[in-house]
Every structure is written in structure tokens, then in C-alpha cells.
Amino acid sequence: MKLYSYFRSSAAFRVRIALNLKGVPYEVVPVHLLKGGGEQFGEAYTRTNPLSLIPALEDGGQVLTQSLAIIEYLDERYPEPPLLPADPLSRAYVRAVALSIACDIHPLNNLRVLRYLVREVGVSDEKKDFWYRHWVELGLGQLDRVVMSGGRSGRYTFGDQVTIADLAIVPQIFNARRFGCDLAKAPTLNEIADRCMQLDAFAKAQPSAQPDAE
């Protein structure tokens, strides 16, 4: 398998963790999101993924996109260890946690959106940073209450089982720390992220451990 990845991409980080947990060998193909206006817009990558977004997974000539769809695919193809609980209600719960990050926090703060805010909308760098922190702090704070009050967390978001929820939380917490967000309202998620990072699969997937790390 080939994973088109950028070391700092949260979405690619999620998939790297999944591949590591499943023990599936893969080759990282770096796509630099900044160099030369962004390699994701180049002809070569656009042929692979017309959405010009990272990550994409190539498996036997087929290209898969969207991190959460890729992770569910890996979970169906390689059932062990499972990244989703067994019963429908619990599955819905961990999926909702992952989607809260993938739909309600991360999309507002990825590189293309921040760039557009500055270049096209004419927002100052200061206001852009404020925008970033606003959505991260609001989103993670609300999600922390959900996880804390849900009575389902343990060592990880769902008891002691690593699930798709943790795969979404860790990269978002990484980014939040990098951008100096205040995580006082997200203590549970912060602790879960720390515990996850003690696992090899997470540690090896982190930005600084990537071949294209700067």
C-alpha cells in the first residue's frame, strides 16, 4: 500500500495510526502542501486524487480518499485489532466523537481555509489565529464534556479499547498544542491523547517521526 501523506496533516496522521495498529506495511509518498504552491494541486497528484486533498491510500491500483472512510476500510479488511466496538450504539458513539473532530473542528482550520481567510477574505494574521483557536477551543471543550459525561471512557475514549475516536483526537490535540490553544476545558481529551502516545502505533505516526518531517 502507498499512503500519500504530509507529515503535518491531521487527516494523514489518523490513517498512519490505523495502518500501524493493523500492522499493515505501507510506503509513505510525501506530498508537500506548501512547496511550489502545493504539490497537491500538481498534475501528478490530481490524477491520483482529484480532490487535491491529503491523505489518499493506494491499495492494489485502487485509490481511496477521506481519512475516516480509509480507516473504516482498513477495519473491514483487517479486523484485528478492531477500531470500532461491536454493538451499534457504541459504534455510533465512537464514530460521533471522530466526526465531531473531522467535521466540526478540523475543516475550519486546515491549511487551505486559513490561507483563503488571509489571501481572499483579507483577514489579518492575528484574526486568523484567533479564528483558529476559537474553533479548536470551543469544539474540544464541548467534546470533552461529551466524553467525560458519557461514562464510556477509560484508558481511552471508549473504555480500554483504542477506537477511531482516539485516532481523531490525538492529531487534533497535537495541532491544538502547536498553535498554542488553551486546552484547560479539554482535560479528558488531553489525557487520552497522552495515554495514546505511549503506544508505538501512535508514536510512530506522529509528524516528527515522518520521512518528510522538517
Q: How far apart (Å, rounded) are the C-alpha atoms in residues 34 and 130?
A: 22
Q: From the list 146, 197, 199, 203, which residue makes contact with a copy of itself (rule: CB under 8 A)?
A: 146
Sign of the torsion angle spanned by Cα atoms 145, 149, 155, 159:
negative
Q: How far apart (Å, rounded) are the C-alpha atoms in residues 21 and 127?
A: 38
Q: From the list 51, 184, 209, 213, which residue makes contact with a copy of itself (rule: CB under 8 A)?
A: 51
Q: Does 26 bind a copy of itself (CB under 8 A)?
A: no
Query: Can you tell me which residue has the cell 481511552?
Result: 156
Q: Does 166 bind a copy of itself (CB under 8 A)?
A: no
Smallest distance, a copy of itself to C-beta of residue 88, A: 4
Q: Which of residues 167-206 bind a copy of itself (CB under 8 A)?
A: none
Q: From the list 24, 29, 96, 203, which residue makes contact with a copy of itself (rule: CB under 8 A)?
A: 96
Count, in order, helices (H) and strands (E) of the chain.
9, 4
Q: Does 35 bind a copy of itself (CB under 8 A)?
A: no
Whether residue 55 is preceded by a cis peptide bond, meaning omega within 30 degrees of 0, is: yes
Q: From the list 43, 120, 126, 160, which residue makes contact with a copy of itself (rule: CB under 8 A)?
A: 120
Q: Which of residues 61-90 bind a copy of itself (CB under 8 A)?
A: 62, 64-66, 68-70, 72-73, 76-77, 88-89
Stretch that binds a copy of itself, among 28-36, 125-133, 152-160, 197-205 (CB under 8 A): 125-133
Smallest distance, a copy of itself to C-beta of residue 211, A: 25
For 178, counting Cβ atoms within 10 Å of its Cβ (0-12 exposed, 13-18 middle, 19+ buried), the class is exposed
Nearer to a copy of itself (CB atom), residue 120 or residue 214: 120
Q: From the list 108, 114, 118, 197, which residue makes contact with a copy of itself (rule: CB under 8 A)?
A: 108
Q: How far apart (Å, rounded) are the C-alpha atoms in residues 57 and 108?
A: 23
Nearer to a copy of itself (CB atom), residue 113 or residue 197: 113
Q: Are 195 and 155 in contact (CB under 8 A)?
A: yes
Categorise residue 52: left if φ over 0, alpha if ψ from -120 to 50, beta otherwise. Answer: left
| Structural element, H or E, at residue 131 | helix 125-149
Categorise residue 61: left if φ over 0, alpha if ψ from -120 to 50, beta otherwise. Answer: left
Applying CB under 8 A, which residues contact a copy of itself? Answer: 50-53, 62, 64-66, 68-70, 72-73, 76-77, 88-89, 91-93, 95-96, 99-100, 102-104, 106-108, 113, 116-117, 120-123, 127, 130-131, 134, 142-143, 145-146, 149
